[in-house]
Structure 1
Amino acid sequence: MSSAIIFIQDFLIHDVFHFLKSNEVSVLIWCVLLASSAFLYFMMNRPRKVYLVDFACYKPSPACICSKEKFMRISTCANQVRDESLDFQMRIVNGFGLGKNTYWPESMLKIPPSISMGDAREETESVIIGAIDEVLLKTKVNVDDIGILVTNCSIFNPTPSLSAIVVNHYKLKHNILTYNLAGMGCSAGLIAIDLAKQLLQVHANSYALIVSTENMNSGWYQGNNRSMLVNNCIFRMGGAAILLSNLSSDSSRSKYLLSHTLRTHKASQHDCYNSIMQREDETNTTGISLNLDFIRYASREAIRSNISSLGKFVLPFKEQIKFIATLVAIKYLKIEMKKPYNPDFKLAFEHFCVHTGAKEIQDILKETLELNDYHIEPSKMTLHRFGNTSSSSVWYVLAYCEAKGRIRKGDRIWQLSFGAGFKCNSAVWRALRTIDPAKETNPWTDEIHHFPVDVSALYK
């Protein structure tokens, strides 16, 4: 039996060898075709690189500066508020780290402020058009080349949408892909980046324009509920425009390469879901309720979930092994530990662009990630200078790092944001070149020499 098998094998080998020898040209052609097909399939299906060509943060005119004293005068005249509510707002304004030169829309600086759909539209148009004009000037990209547009604003969502406003103003092409994200809070800016990244994977040779902002006029609360008054005190006017590209030719002029995006959603947990909620108060006055206790809890939960998932992509192998070993020991071996091992993300990133939020959020991040004052400085200074500009805040933070001359070629940047839901989102970038602040124009350019400043006295 074994002799028969050996005979058949020898026969087949001889037959195949004879066939290959007599058809060398055909076989060679087929091999080339198969190899070419495999190469083309790989090239067409590999992830496209996404480049951040440049970005711009809107800086309102000096006429929009709103000092703490002016804010309190406006609050006194605008709302039917009780004295204890005014005292509460003063404590928030003094204790959350905002400086004296944050911005409000001109319509709300009037006494009493003008609250209307028209004023809200005018505010948002001035921000998004101002930011887009600047990013187009920086990048020299023709508007006809923009194939994807993503806008986001949590509270103000008119008809036609914000994306339609942009298309109308710039006369963008009729087949542009437009998306408008709403109700997603401060985290929407990085959600927009993630959406644009996904779209750039299927639309070759495209530019994606992302516009992130929030609307103060529509978010103004005119009641006495303390959880809703916090919103009035910490949010300020601002916005950012970001231009992404998947063209390989843009690699040499772009600032950053997008390495990872990661989204964490904790709305399945009741406390997280209710931490930030738009609703009516006891007098049927609409506002955004911020439950600070829930926000603290939701922030910790969302951060832990996000960094646990992100770690496997960005941490050095040694840190990943330590982290996994700790999880196995606690979860499966039931070993009690006083303090679980916390990965050192400072080994993975040179810069941390954390959502400004408020001092408490910054403190939670500083503790959880074991950051030092240098790492948290850009976020703290952004909160002091511009306030909480919601979804655009991480771009003001990155602009601070650029203006300080901190960004070097090869540096890794982690943007981290939070928002209603409760959500925690990450975007990881790698600097493609050293950013020379002398050649840059951003909202910090003419005043960066004043920073950092000591803000400890602001936290009472």
Structure 2
Amino acid sequence: MAQSLKFCYQFLVNNFFILLLIPLSIAILIKTMFTSPEEIMCMYNSMHLTSVHLLCASFVVVYILTLFVVWRPRPVYLVDYALFKPPRSYRVSFAGFIEHVRMGRLFSEPKSVHFQMKILERSGLGENTCLPPALHYIPPTPTMAMAREEAELIIFSAMDSLLQKTGIKPRDVDILILNCSLFSPTPSLTAMVINKYKMRSNIRSFNLSGMGCSAGLISIDLARDLLQRYPNSNAVVISTEILTPNSYKGKERAMLLPNCLFRMGGAALLLSNRRADRRRAKYRLAHVVRTHKGADDKSYGCVSQEEDSEGNVGIKLNIDLMAVAGEALKSNITTIGPLVLPASEQILFALSLFGRKIINFKWKPYIPDFKQAFEHFCIHAGGRAVIDELQKNLRLTNEQVEASRMTLHRFGNTSSSSLWYELSYIESKGRMKKGDRVWQIAFGSGFKCNSAVWKCNRTIKLPVEGPWADCIDKYPVHIPEVVKL
């Protein structure tokens, strides 16, 4: 009964203007049918319109249409994207990881080994995730040279694939944006790409670092702003994280966690504002919403790169990370909700907010049903706890978080590129249809919660090239709560 009432409410509110327009149109049609041509001409003559009036009215209409065309935002299209698939020789099984930890003399303390084993057991990762060659050595050799080799392998592989898929030539790229949080060499990674592909000298290049796993959507936002400024342009966005120099060698538990979760990955995207790319583009960018909670000390310090008591550098994840992420998500939802939710959900959310502010602040807040706004969800595969928490808070089904769980299982936490592995999973399953809406959600240090909304421009046909091509038939797989090692 409650479901029926809710459905009736949603139907009436979301289709209010259509339901109002139907009887109004019928009334106008009936009135017109019973009005003779002589009466219509009499009404026209009674208004005393002259040619000057008609000319002024035409000028106003043309002026308004011109302003609309000139000032409306340019559409931004995602033409296509390419993902890095690590060679199978880079695979790190659970047994191999634990054996490496024990033999590496870096974590030889039994408590550290046991802790990492427990993390892996509950991580949601599978046996096919990959680490770069430098971390396969015993002990690891995180040199600058090997870090550059990892960067070149990931970035150039993804870039080569993107150029092949889209047919664009390197010298035709107008804007280049690359984000990599923890590895920021000189010359920059964007300079490395420009040198490799001999891009032209007036290219607009940007290198983003230190912005965490949500930096991919920050790059999208920057690309959108630049494409609004420069007409008839395209932008290449590259998202990755280089692991070679960032493996933690100490014993502090809060800093050992990233060692167990982060794996190799990278994505390259081609964005465009050209009308000629509208038909072949896969998606159109609808919204980007960025939330930054850095003004709060607890949020600012919950994810940080620092030294432990022995001078070992690593990424420290504080125990209140999930609480901070929840607060950032609420702020992001409050902003993005009015942009995407149907009227029925906006009214309920507004009433709930009003009741909490005015009547009783202890009222349970109403969580909008985002399933009415989106067909697909790409939640950053930062870890099992992140996916579980968002599934609970947003009341999503297992199928709606399937792409995130399977990406974490197959590729691990690939930082800012994980959203694109998830989107590729949905495509490879044949679920992406024309008109479908996709919500990408990512979290990053600082603390940030960023969202991007895409609308599918054309039905994605199978088979889909990419990292899932040789294994998509095996997924989804059952992921137990604990994998005994």
Per the normalisation by structure 1, the TM-score is 0.91
Distance 1:102 1:179 in 2: 30
- What's the counterpart of residue 189 of structure 1? 216
Q: In structure 2, give the amino acid aligned to 1:369.
A: L
**Residues 1:266 and 2:293 aligned together:** yes
Q: What is the CA distance between 1:423 and its match in structure 2?
A: 0.6
Which residue of structure 1 aligns with residue 331 of structure 2?
305
Deviations 1:128-147 (A, max 9, x none): 11111111111111222211
The equivalent of 1:65 in structure 2 is: 91
Contact 1:79 1:223 in 2 (8 A): no
Instruction: Tell me if structure 2 keeps the 8 A contact 1:315–1:345.
Output: yes
SS at match of 1:257: strand
Q: CA deviation at 1:80?
A: 2.9
Say if 1:32 and 1:145 are closer, same or farther in 2 by CA, change over 3 A: farther
Letter in 1 for 2:88: P
Match of 1:6 in 2: none
How far is 1:74 from its partner? Answer: 2.4
Which residue does the alignment assign to 2:202? Answer: 175
Q: CA deviation at 1:70?
A: 1.6
CA–CA distance in 1 between the matches of 2:420 and 2:483? 24
Q: How does 1:319-338 map onto structure 2 within 5 Å?
A: 319-334=345-360, 336-337=362-363
The count of aligned residue pairs is: 435
Q: Which runs of 5+ in 1 are unaligned?
A: 1-16
TM-score by length of 2: 0.86
Secondary structure, in 3 states, of the residue corresponding to 1:373? coil
How far did residue 77 of structure 1 move? 3.4
* Aligned partner of 1:203 among 230, 234, 238: 230
Partner residue of 2:71 out of 45, 63, 73 = 45
Please give the alpha-carbon distance, in whole angstroms, between the structure 1 residues aligned to 2:76 and 2:105.
Answer: 47
Which residue in 1 is equivalent to 2:132? 105
2:408 matched residue in structure 1: 383
Query: Counterparts of 2:452 and 2:386 in 1: how far apart (Å)?
Result: 18
Compute the displacement of 1:94 (Å): 1.4
What is the alpha-carbon distance in structure 2 between the residues aligned to residue 241 and residue 47 of structure 1? 24
Query: Which amino acid is 2:203 matched to?
Result: I
1:164 aligns with 2:191: yes
Q: In structure 2, how many angstroms separate the alpha carbons of the residues matched to 1:451 and 1:80?
A: 35
Partner residue, 1:404: 429
Aligned-residue offset at 1:109: 1.3
1:283 is matched with 310
Deviations 1:360-399 (A, max 9, x none): 1111101110011001111001000000000000000001
Q: Which of 259, 262, 268 is residue 241 of structure 1 equivalent to?
A: 268
CA separation in 2, counterparts of 1:228 and 1:457? 23
1:296 aligns with 2:322: yes
Q: CA deviation at 1:72?
A: 1.9
* Partner of residue 222 from structure 1, selected from 249, 259, 270: 249
In 1: Cα distance, 2:479 partner to 2:105 partner: 29
Unaligned runs of at least 5 residues, structure 2: 1-47
The letter for the 2-side match of 1:227 is: A
The Cα of 1:248 is off from its aligned counterpart by 1.2
Tell me, in whole angstroms, the C-alpha distance in 2 between the residues paired with 1:134 and 1:332: 56
SS at match of 1:236: coil
Matched with 2:459 is 434
Native 8 Å contact 1:54 1:243 kept in 2: yes
Q: Residue by residue, what CA displacement relative to the aligned partner does 1:302-333 show, whole Å, maximum 9, x if unpaired?
A: 11111111100000001000000100011123
Equivalent residue, structure 1, for 2:467: 443
The DSSP-based 3-state class of the residue aligned with 1:320 is: helix
Q: Is the 8 A contact 2:106 2:139 kept in 1?
A: no
* Matched residue, 2:35: none
- Tell me, yes or no, if structure 1 residue 374 matches structure 2 residue 416: no
Shift of 1:41: 3.6
- Percent identity among equivalent residues? 47
Q: What amino acid is the match of 1:404?
A: K
Q: Aligned AA for 1:183? A: G
Q: Give yes or no for contact 1:261–1:428 (8 Å, CA) kept in 2.
A: yes
Using the TM superposition, give the Cα deviation of residue 459 of structure 1 relative to its aligned residue in structure 2, in angstroms.
Answer: 5.8
**Root-mean-square deviation over aligned CA pairs:** 1.8
Aligned partner letter, 1:121: R
Partner SS state of residue 374, structure 1: coil
CA distance in 1, matches of 2:54, 2:456: 44
For 1:273 and 1:437, how far apart are their aligned partners in 2?
A: 43
Which residue number in structure 2 is paired with residue 10 of structure 1?
none
Residue 66 of structure 1 aligns to a residue whose secondary structure is coil
- Picking from 280, 283, 286, the partner of 1:256 is 283
SS in 1 for 2:374: coil
Between 35-44 and 62-71, the greater mean CA deviation after superposition = 35-44
Matched residue, 1:3: none
Match of 2:100 in 1: 74
State how far apart, in whole Å, the 1-side matches of 2:203 and 2:358 are: 51
Distance 1:336 1:457 in 2: 34
Deviation at 1:447, TM superposition (A): 0.7
Q: Structure 1 residues 79, 332: CA separation in 2 closer, same or farther (over 3 Å shift)?
A: farther
Cα distance in 1 between the residues matched to 2:125 and 2:283: 30
- Amino acid in the other structure paired with 1:230: L
> 2:391 & 2:64 partners in 1: Cα distance?
48
**DSSP 3-state at the match of 2:231:** coil
Shift of 1:39: 3.8
The question of 1:353 aligning with 2:374 is answered: no
- CA displacement at 1:271 relative to structure 2: 1.6
Whole-Å separation in 2 of the counterparts to 1:244 and 1:250:
9
